[in-house]
């Protein structure tokens, strides 16, 4: 009896020991090593899933979509869940347009995260998942993504810019408003089962994404299409090294159309050259030539140095000054301010500049916005080149009067012309109408009053004569409208110093209707491959302005000012008449 009791005691003691050991092990695993094993489990089953924010669209002022997102998927593999790499490769290959061998090699891994292919169309990706479910194969998952699409291709490419493979803005509006457009990615902590599927019950902390804002531009795509079309026609005709055109509302500074050549397709930006991607409107500076005469004329008139009746002796077309000779195309004796602009007299302009103190003249040049960035939200804007009086030589002042020894950007030039059109106020160019639905529209911003309204009015009236049959730009006339404008023909600067023979940058800047301007425009054609005798702003750039203006007036419904029925053909006949 005693032996039995002893044996029972031993068995009980053993059981107690065993259960004590188990209990201790349990305490060790669950309590002492809790953090370690929790972490281990979390690493295996928990993951932070990024919920990507949708990039905002870019729209024109009427809501036309200029940049949108095309949903695609990134296919990733989890090697720990792939049981049959060969079968999975065979199944996935046709959906991913990849070779079976390549896929098999990629699937034969134990790594938990391998990117297999990016940019797979949604439909193909979903079809592949369904096929996998049917075949009971696991190990591939889909990640959300999108590729940026620019439905209009080359049109407005320099303004829109483009994004890189990771969706970050690289150029244009995509770059300058990247923060607003990109939004903020969200996340969700998830647990997945042994098949790699999310266990919804154990969803953890979650933060929804902040979607990117839709940005509305001031651009009017109807007008943009007209501008692009006419600029393209001219480029095919004269094969220039480059060309640009901008049209804006002079009263608000809103940029309505902006085109630059050469251009590129932002959908295939990696196939383009840097030269094509350059937005000449903001990144290039050029000597403006005679268009710049509006500055000296406005300054002299505003300062009271000349008035509308003052007559300036123009030396019959040859003026010897500072050891150099300044020539006029239209030889004349005395001319008043209006005639100096109408006939584009270099001598008259130079003499007006000499009547002013250096600093006063310089201040006016700067007041018109030259020598400083306009503040347009586009990448790579330069400030141009305006030397201060201390760096002028004896000829600089007279050269500046007719647009030499000074370099401007097209955006500066059009804003200066807009200030003449709107009564003397320099406006800040405005390209963004609003940043996101419900956001307050950005107001028009005036930079400064450059000249008195009456000065601007007089200059505008004088610029109308430039576009008359006696002026330098009759080809800019738009039937039914009084057009004001100024031509510019500047020899190109040689990199070795001096000017290049027979190579010109020609331009025309103007506005209409001249009484209540609705549109101000600038057309620049750089180094057209035509003879010097035809390479003038009035012959190359002005007709482009006219064609754009005529179509734009019809498109925008701008009421005609007069009943003039002069047609372009009639104008040509008149122009040909000796």
Partner 1 sequence: MKGNRRRATNAIEVHFLTRTIFFGFLIGFAALFFVYIKNQQHSVGNESRQVEAELHEYTARNEALMANITKMTSRGYLQRKLDEGYIRLSAVRDSSLESTNPAVIAQPDGLLRTASRDTAEASRRVLSR
Residues of this chain, 181-200, that bind partner 1 according to CB under 8 A: 197-200
Whether the Cβ atoms of residue 470 and residue 342 lie closer than 8 Å to each other: yes
CB of 216 to partner 1, least distance (A): 10
CB of 160 to partner 1, least distance (A): 12
CB of 380 to partner 1, least distance (A): 24
Residues of this chain, 216-235, that bind partner 1 according to CB under 8 A: 221, 225
Whether the Cβ atoms of residue 524 and residue 507 lie closer than 8 Å to each other: yes
Q: What is the 3-state secondary structure (H, E, C) of 44-90?
A: HHEEEEEECCCCCCEECCCCCEEEEEEEEEEEEECHHHCCCHHHHHH
- Out of 47, 53, 55, 59, the only residue in the binding site for partner 1 (CB under 8 A) is 59
- Out of 68, 170, 382, 395, the only residue in the binding site for partner 1 (CB under 8 A) is 68
Interaction between residue 278 and partner 1 (CB under 8 A): no
Nearer to partner 1, 190 or 294 (CB): 190
Place of tokens 């080149």: 385
Candidates 30-38, 122-130, 159-167, 467-475 — which segment interacts with partner 1 by CB under 8 A? 122-130
Nearer to partner 1, 299 or 519 (CB): 519
Q: How far apart are CA 89 and CA 102, in angstroms?
A: 8
Question: In Å, what is the CA distance from 361 to each residue of 339, 368, 492, 573?
Answer: 21, 11, 25, 41
Interaction between residue 119 and partner 1 (CB under 8 A): no
Helices (H), 135-253: 157-160, 172-176, 178-182, 221-238
- Out of 78, 154, 284, 547, the only residue in the binding site for partner 1 (CB under 8 A) is 154
The encoded tokens of residue 202 equal 């154990």
Residue 117 CB neighbour total at 10 angstroms:
19
- Out of 6, 9, 63, 119, the only residue in the binding site for partner 1 (CB under 8 A) is 63
The encoded tokens of residue 85 equal 């790499």
Q: Interface mask (CB under 8 A) for partner 1, residues 240-259, using x and -?
A: --------------------
CB of 434 to partner 1, least distance (A): 13
CB of 422 to partner 1, least distance (A): 19
Q: How far apart are CA 9 and CA 6, in angstroms?
A: 5
Nearer to partner 1, 231 or 476 (CB): 231
Strands 215-217, 58-59: pairing kind: parallel
* Residue 560 DSSP label: P
Q: Interface mask (CB under 8 A) for partner 1, residues 435-454, using x and -?
A: --x-----------------
Nearer to partner 1, 69 or 310 (CB): 69
Candidates 145-153, 235-243, 444-452, 457-465 — which segment interacts with partner 1 by CB under 8 A? 145-153
**Could you tell me the end-to-end alpha-carbon distance of the chain, in angstroms, rounded to an integer?**
146
Interaction between residue 153 and partner 1 (CB under 8 A): yes
Element (H, E) at 206: strand 206-207
- Out of 557, 563, 576, 578, the only residue in the binding site for partner 1 (CB under 8 A) is 557
- Out of 45, 46, 52, 64, the only residue in the binding site for partner 1 (CB under 8 A) is 64
- Out of 155, 255, 365, 451, the only residue in the binding site for partner 1 (CB under 8 A) is 155
Interacting residues of 466 by C-beta distance below 8 A, sequence separation 6+: 341, 342, 344, 472, 473, 484, 485, 486, 487
Burial class (CB in 10 A: 0-12, 13-18, 19+), 240: buried
Candidates 101-109, 143-151, 361-369, 440-448 — which segment interacts with partner 1 by CB under 8 A? 143-151
Whether the Cβ atoms of residue 182 and residue 175 lie closer than 8 Å to each other: no
CB of 66 to partner 1, least distance (A): 9
Binding residues with partner 1: total (CB under 8 A): 32
Q: How far apart are CA 83 and CA 574, in angstroms?
A: 85
Residues of this chain, 419-438, that bind partner 1 according to CB under 8 A: 437
- Out of 87, 93, 114, 121, the only residue in the binding site for partner 1 (CB under 8 A) is 121
Candidates 30-38, 68-76, 102-110, 519-527 — which segment interacts with partner 1 by CB under 8 A? 68-76
Q: In the chain, what are the helix, strand and coil shares in percent, each to the nearest 5? A: 40, 25, 35
Interaction between residue 149 and partner 1 (CB under 8 A): yes
Assign 9 to helix, strand or coil: helix
CB of 479 to partner 1, least distance (A): 17
Interaction between residue 31 and partner 1 (CB under 8 A): no
Assign 15 to helix, strand or coil: helix
- Out of 90, 395, 493, 556, the only residue in the binding site for partner 1 (CB under 8 A) is 556
Nearer to partner 1, 255 or 352 (CB): 255
Nearer to partner 1, 130 or 239 (CB): 130
Q: Where are the beta strands (DSSP E) in 290-387?
A: 311-313, 318-321, 324-327, 334-336
The encoded tokens of residue 224 equal 């943009």
Q: How far apart are CA 181 and CA 56, in angstroms?
A: 5
Candidates 148-156, 174-182, 487-495, 527-535 — which segment interacts with partner 1 by CB under 8 A? 148-156
CB of 509 to partner 1, least distance (A): 25
Residues paired with residue 519 on neighbouring β-strands, in sequence order: 512
- For partner 1, the binding residues (CB under 8 A) are 57, 59, 62-65, 68-71, 121-123, 126, 144, 149, 151-155, 197-201, 214, 221, 225, 437, 556-557
């Amino acid at each position: 009896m005693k032996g039995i009791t002893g044996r029972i005691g031993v068995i009980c003691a053993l059981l107690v020991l065993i259960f004590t050991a188990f209990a201790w092990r349990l305490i060790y695993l669950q309590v002492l090593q809790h953090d370690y094993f929790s972490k281990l489990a979390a690493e295996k089953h928990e993951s932070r899933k990024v919920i990507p924010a949708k990039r905002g669209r870019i729209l024109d002022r009427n809501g036309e979509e200029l940049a949108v997102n095309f949903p695609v998927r990134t296919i990733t593999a989890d090697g720990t869940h792939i049981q049959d790499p060969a079968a999975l490769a065979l199944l996935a290959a046709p959906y991913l347009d990849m070779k079976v061998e390549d896929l098999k090699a990629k699937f034969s891994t134990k790594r938990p995260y391998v990117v297999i292919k990016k940019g797979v169309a949604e439909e193909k990706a979903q079809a592949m998942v369904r096929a996998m479910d049917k075949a009971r194969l696991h190990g591939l998952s889909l990640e959300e993504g999108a590729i940026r699409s620019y439905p209009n291709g080359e049109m407005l490419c320099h303004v829109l810019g483009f994004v890189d493979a990771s969706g970050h803005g690289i150029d244009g509006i995509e770059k300058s408003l990247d923060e607003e457009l990109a939004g903020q990615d969200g996340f969700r902590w998830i647990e997945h089962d042994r098949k790699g599927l999310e266990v919804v019950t154990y969803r953890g902390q979650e933060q929804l994404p902040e979607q990117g804002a839709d940005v509305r531009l001031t651009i009017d795509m109807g007008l943009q299409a007209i501008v692009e079309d006419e600029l393209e026609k001219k480029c095919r005709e004269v094969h220039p090294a480059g060309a640009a055109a901008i049209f804006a509302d002079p009263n608000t500074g809103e940029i309505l159309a902006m085109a630059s050549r050469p251009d590129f397709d932002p959908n295939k930006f990696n196939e383009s050259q840097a030269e094509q991607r350059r937005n000449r409107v903001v990144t290039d500076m050029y000597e403006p030539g005679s268009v710049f005469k509006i500055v000296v004329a406005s300054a002299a008139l505003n300062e009271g140095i000349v008035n509308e009746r003052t007559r300036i002796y123009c030396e019959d077309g040859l003026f010897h000054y500072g050891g150099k000779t300044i020539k006029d195309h239209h030889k004349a004796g005395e001319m008043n301010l209006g005639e100096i602009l109408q006939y584009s007299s270099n001598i008259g302009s130079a003499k007006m500049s000499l009547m002013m103190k250096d600093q006063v003249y310089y201040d006016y040049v700067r007041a018109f916005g030259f020598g400083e960035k306009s503040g347009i939200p586009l990448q790579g804007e330069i400030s141009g080149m305006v030397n201060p009086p201390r760096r002028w030589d004896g000829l600089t002042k007279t050269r500046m009067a007719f647009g030499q020894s000074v370099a401007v950007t097209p955006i500066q030039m059009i804003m200066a012309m807009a200030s003449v059109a709107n009564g003397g106020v320099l406006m800040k160019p405005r390209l963004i109408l609003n940043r996101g639905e419900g956001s307050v529209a950005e107001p028009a911003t005036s930079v400064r009053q450059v000249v008195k309204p009456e000065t601007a009015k007089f200059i505008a009236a004088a610029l109308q004569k430039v576009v008359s049959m006696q002026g330098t730009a009759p080809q800019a006339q738009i039937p039914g409208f009084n057009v004001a404008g100024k031509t510019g023909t500047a020899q190109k600067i040689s990199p070795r110093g001096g000017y290049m023979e027979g190579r010109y940058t020609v331009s025309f800047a103007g506005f209409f209707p001249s009484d209540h301007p609705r549109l101000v425009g600038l057309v620049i054609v750089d180094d057209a491959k035509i003879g010097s005798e035809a390479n003038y702003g009035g012959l190359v750039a002005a007709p482009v302005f006219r064609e754009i203006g005529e179509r734009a007036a019809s498109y925008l419904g701008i009421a005609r000012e007069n009943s003039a029925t002069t047609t372009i053909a009639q104008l040509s006949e008149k122009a040909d008449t000796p």
